[in-house]
Structure 1
Amino acid sequence: MNVVRLAPVVSSMRPNNHPYLNGPWTPLLEEVNAWDLDVIEGRIPDDIDGVYLRNTENQVHQPLGRHHPFDGDGMIHQIDLRGGKATYRNRFVRTRCFQAEQLAGRSLWGGIMDRPGVSTRPGFGAHGGLKDSSSTDIIVHAGKALSTFYQCGEAYVLDPETLEQQGVAPWVPLDGISAHPKVDERTGELLFFNYSTHAPYMHYGVLDADGRLVTYVPVPLPGPRLPHDMAFSENWSILNDFPFYWDEELLKRGLHVSRFHPEMKSRFALIPRHGTTADIRWFEAEPTYVLHWLNAYEEGDEVVLDGYFQENPSPEPLARDDGHGHFMAFIDEHSFRPKLHRWRFNLATGQTREERLDDRILEFGMINQTYLGQPYRYAYSTTTPPGWFLFNGFVKHDLHTGESWSVTLPEGRYASEAPFAPRIDARDEDDGYLVSFIIDENKGTSECILIDCKRFADGPVCRIALPHKISSGTHAHWVDRRSLDRAR
């Protein structure tokens, strides 16, 4: 392996015992370019050609207040697989806030758990007081990578192959965009939404295949809400109004405290792809909160939506002696209990039907992206160890037969979100690989693994060494070289 290390960033971090600043969440402060990566096991398949991108919450400066893992600075890790070889690089996302804190040499903004007055400067996003770290998701649209922030940020543009930074996406509205814009690979369009604390509280938008904003309409809500993700079918975009949102009275005092209202229904807004506010169809369903959707598609009069229904969106604090039990419960899947679930919205009757697809605790699902918005068969979810926001395995579902297959990592090894990478000239939906980065706490190393989805239960068919141990994070994306070449 050949490695070039870039000039170090400025950091004010000090040793501490915070559970999400140590172990798999230990911040990484170096940026590198690496090529001729060493293969630990197996071989790099020559029938895969593209780029895996993974976003990371990676704290650079000593926190001003109470640290939450979602406060960390965005860092993009990338592995490029081509012709049986692999290269790697990683870069901090040079957001406005990152640059300001580099100049100051310290933190300037408080975090999600801090009270008003901790930040030294006005903040961004729906919260209004946070640093836009662009550290949540990363997707590729029109040949450009977009990194995003979970509470509505500016969206930053990078070259997906070189990670060259190109600043804020020029089309982003004043209220920003949510963490999870979606790309329809059939049309090349990008769909997004945002939310805020001022009426109408939500907007929905569409970019065309060339990156031009062609639709942007209000989606009026009863008050400030906390939607996190959206889905789409061939003709409809699906937004939500869940009964889990900031306490309205505390919000008047500048306090952002989330409450679950089980007496209220969940509401879903179905809007035609290029529709207006007047075209929205609202559907009601059982109360819950959903972080992430898998897919949606149309079947006769119904729009079918699959995602992860939370059985307990407002869990009790974990039993800990260090004062971190409250926030850790809200990012512990075994506390809020997400289950793979299906909603059916009948456009003829206006009624909703629901069913549970799996009773295991699962989340962070992926599918073959060429099937987004279309009927599909296979889904890939992550599993987690109790008490922690970490991934320790994967489950493949055959949604037609109900069968499933699992891969569980050995103790002390933790995965990243794992998108599906189709084989070159793939013949069917599951003809390809799951790609993921692994943190090995036993050895203090990281690697990239590939799982052949045709032989899923066999586990990794290839393990590729990375030049350093990375920090844990949230979302990842795969883009085929052919897609990049077409965009160019």
Structure 2
Amino acid sequence: MDVEILGRALSTLPADDDHPYRSGPWRPQTVERAADDLEVIGEIPADLDGVYLRNTENPVHPAITTYHPFDGDGMVHVVGFRDGKAFYRNRFVQTDGYLAEQEACRSLWAGLAESPESAVRADGWGARGRMKDASSTDVVVHAGVALTSFYQCGELYRLDPLTLDPLGKSTWDGQFPAAGVSAHPKVDDATGELLFFNYGKDEPFLHYGVVDADNRLAHYVDVPLPGPRLPHDMAFTENYAILNDCPLFWRPELLAQGAHVARFHPDLPLRLGVLPRRGGGDEVRWFEAESTFVLHFVNAYEDGDEIVLDGFFQSDPEGRGGVFPGDQRYARMYRMLSLDGMQTRLHRWRLNLATGQTKEERLSDSITEFGMINSGYAGRPYRYTYAATGEPGWFLFDGLVKHDLDTGREERFRYGAGVFGSETAVAPRVGSRGEDDGYLVTITTDMNTDRSECLVFDTACVADGPVARIRLPERVSSGTHSTWAPGGALPGWRDADDPATAVGLS
């Protein structure tokens, strides 16, 4: 394995750090590496062509008072595949906040669990104010560029999807919204459009927009809500965007006092808003459903007069029934991070545009979340989703489940005790002939061997285990959201003789 050190972060974390989400599987990385000639167990399929990108929270400084795992600095990992070979690279996202704190050698912004008064730098709400915009939540590829984002509405940081070199922030020719962009913007492969939303504490509380295939802001509208909300995801079909008003949001009486305390309001329904993809805010139709919070949707499509929307229903959004197995000082804060605490199950809502009625059903009794699909079927009828199972009590993925939504069949693979995965992306094989014709890619963190691997599964036989295990140069910190970009969508991918040359390794 040929490894090049690209850079190092100046970290002030203690060597004996025992914070439950800065140690063990979440031990942060400080070194940026590039590697090729990676050791492979099995064989990398020759028709696996493209890059797997994964973002994660990776703190380099202690919190001002109380660290929450969503506060860490963004770090992106890329594993690229071409002609049966693989390369690896990891880089910190060069956010304004990361650079400022590197210069100061300390944390400057208050985190999710901290009082705004504790911050050295704060002005306003969210990632453009009291919190550092870590750009550590999500990553997508649009118009040939990787975009990282933050769940509390910040910038979109642009990266070269092969080298992870910083390309600055999205500006959209000066039209980037003052309210920022939330994590989980959606890319429609069929149109090349990027659909997004943002939210905040000021009326109208929610906005929705569309960026076209040429990276120009083509549409941006107000979507009025009854008050400040905390939406985390959205969905789309061929003709519609689906937004949400979930009944988990800040307690209004405390918000008026400047305290950001989120609570579930079970007396209020879940509201799902449907509007034409280029429609105005006054065209939104709201559908009511059983009270819950939806962290992630899987997909949506049109079926006659109905919008079919799939996502993960939480039976216990505050995780009150969950048990945090670590230091009980942290129990109240972290119990709602585990899938078993929130009781997340695959669910379907049918929104009838003719009658205004909502029908809903549970699609699985299994506790899963972070469902991924073949992106070529996003917004269209589909059959399969590949979701994560969770380590009890922790924000860790201990396996994956392939859900067949037509038959209800579930196919499972568990990584093994002490081994934890990332969100599993679907990589259609070159010349793919169907939805389930390709590979699954994920990164694992193995506490037993102090090692990380990139695993490649055949989508058609998940339970058989990985067809290839690619050894990475360092045990990486546990992480979540990921994406797959085919080589054909990456500028310069075929200009180099081999993938190592494409990222400057040889």
TM-score range, shorter chain: over 0.9
Instruction: Report what 1:411 is aligned to.
Output: 417
Partners of 1:125 and 1:152 within 8 A in 2: no
Shift of 1:125: 5.5
Q: Does 1:69 align with 2:69?
A: yes
Partners of 1:124 and 1:130 within 8 A in 2: no
Instruction: Report what 1:186 is aligned to.
Output: 190
Q: Distance in 1 between matches of 2:430 and 2:447?
A: 34
Q: Does 1:256 align with 2:265?
A: no
Partners of 1:126 and 1:197 within 8 A in 2: no
Shift of 1:484: 2.0
Q: Distance in 1 between matches of 2:382 and 2:218?
A: 28
Q: Does 1:213 align with 2:217?
A: yes
Q: Distance in 2 between matches of 1:331 and 1:310?
A: 12
Partners of 1:179 and 1:229 within 8 A in 2: yes
Instruction: Report what 2:447 is aligned to.
Output: 441
Letter in 1 for 2:82: R
Residue 452 of structure 1: which of 437, 454, 458 is its match? Answer: 458
Partners of 1:423 and 1:431 within 8 A in 2: yes
Letter in 2 for 1:109: W
Partners of 1:109 and 1:123 within 8 A in 2: no
Shift of 1:487: 11
Letter in 1 for 2:72: G
Q: Distance in 2 between matches of 1:24 and 1:315?
A: 22
Shift of 1:6: 2.2
Change (3 A) 1:124 1:433: farther
Instruction: Report what 2:103 is aligned to.
Output: 103
Letter in 2 for 1:102: Q
Instruction: Report what 2:170 is aligned to.
Output: 169
Partners of 1:250 and 1:256 within 8 A in 2: yes
Shift of 1:373: 0.2
SS in 1 for 2:8: coil
Q: Does 1:47 align with 2:52?
A: no
Q: Give the number of equivalent residue pairs.
A: 487
How does the TM-score come out when normalised to structure 2?
A: 0.94
Letter in 1 for 2:101: E
Q: Which runs of 5+ in 2 are unaligned?
A: 495-506
Instruction: Report what 1:362 is aligned to.
Output: 368
Instruction: Report what 2:498 is aligned to.
Output: none
Shift of 1:321: 4.5
Equivalent residue runs for 1:175-324 within 5 Å:
175-316=179-320, 318=323, 321-324=327-330
Flag as ranges the 4+ runs of structure 1 deviating above 3 A: 123-128, 317-322, 485-488
Partners of 1:414 and 1:440 within 8 A in 2: yes
Instruction: Report what 1:152 is aligned to.
Output: 153
SS in 2 for 1:357: strand
Instruction: Report what 2:499 is aligned to.
Output: none
Q: 1:449-483 CA distances to partner (integer Å, 9 max, x unpaired)? A: 00101111101110000000111122000000112
Change (3 A) 1:175 1:476: same
Q: Distance in 1 between matches of 2:391 and 2:229?
A: 29
Partners of 2:7 and 2:33 within 8 A in 1: no
Q: Distance in 1 between matches of 2:171 and 2:103?
A: 24
Partners of 2:223 and 2:282 within 8 A in 1: no
SS in 1 for 2:17: coil
| Stretch moving more, 185-194 or 123-132 | 123-132
Q: Does 1:57 align with 2:57?
A: yes
Partners of 1:56 and 1:472 within 8 A in 2: yes
Partners of 2:403 and 2:410 within 8 A in 1: yes
Q: Distance in 1 between matches of 2:205 and 2:90?
A: 35
Q: Distance in 2 between matches of 1:18 and 1:97?
A: 22
Residue 338 of structure 2: which of 329, 332, 338 is its match? Answer: 332
Shift of 1:372: 0.1
Percent identity between matched residues is 54
Instruction: Report what 2:502 is aligned to.
Output: none
Partners of 2:251 and 2:263 within 8 A in 1: yes
SS in 1 for 2:467: strand
Change (3 A) 1:310 1:123: farther
Instruction: Report what 1:89 is aligned to.
Output: 89
Q: Does 1:427 align with 2:433?
A: yes
Q: 1:106-127 CA distances to partner (integer Å, 9 max, x unpaired)? A: 1111210011211100157536
Q: 1:325-346 CA distances to partner (integer Å, 9 max, x unpaired)? A: 0121110111111110000000
Q: Distance in 2 between matches of 1:235 and 1:484?
A: 27
Shift of 1:275: 0.4
Letter in 2 for 1:50: G
Letter in 1 for 2:250: W
Partners of 2:440 and 2:459 within 8 A in 1: yes
Shift of 1:93: 0.2
| Stretch moving more, 137-146 or 115-124 | 115-124
Q: 1:20-76 CA distances to partner (integer Å, 9 max, x unpaired)? A: 01111000000011111111x211110110000000100011211111110000000
Q: Does 1:477 align with 2:478?
A: no
Instruction: Report what 2:501 is aligned to.
Output: none
SS in 1 for 2:55: strand
Q: Distance in 1 between matches of 2:139 and 2:430?
A: 23
Shift of 1:17: 1.3
SS in 2 for 1:193: strand
Change (3 A) 1:89 1:123: farther
Q: Distance in 1 between matches of 2:255 and 2:116?
A: 11
Q: Distance in 1 between matches of 2:489 and 2:464?
A: 29
Shift of 1:7: 3.2
Partners of 1:446 and 1:465 within 8 A in 2: yes
Partners of 1:123 and 1:132 within 8 A in 2: no
Letter in 1 for 2:296: H
Q: 1:157-197 CA distances to partner (integer Å, 9 max, x unpaired)? A: 00101111011111331111111000000000000000000
Shift of 1:239: 0.2
Q: Distance in 1 between matches of 2:323 and 2:261?
A: 18
Letter in 1 for 2:96: R
Q: Distance in 1 between matches of 2:439 and 2:327?
A: 42
Q: Which runs of 5+ in 1 are unaligned?
A: none
Shift of 1:97: 0.3
Partners of 1:412 and 1:440 within 8 A in 2: yes
| Stretch moving more, 260-269 or 198-207 | 260-269
Shift of 1:151: 1.0
Equivalent residue runs for 1:117-156 within 5 Å:
117-122=117-122, 126=126, 128-156=129-157
Partners of 1:148 and 1:179 within 8 A in 2: yes
Change (3 A) 1:125 1:368: farther
Letter in 2 for 1:296: A
Change (3 A) 1:456 1:125: farther
Q: Distance in 2 between matches of 1:31 and 1:416?
A: 19
Partners of 2:116 and 2:122 within 8 A in 1: no
Instruction: Report what 1:461 is aligned to.
Output: 467
Equivalent residue runs for 1:28-43 within 5 Å:
28-39=29-40, 41-43=41-43
| Stretch moving more, 207-216 or 121-130 | 121-130
SS in 2 for 1:6: strand
Letter in 2 for 1:183: V
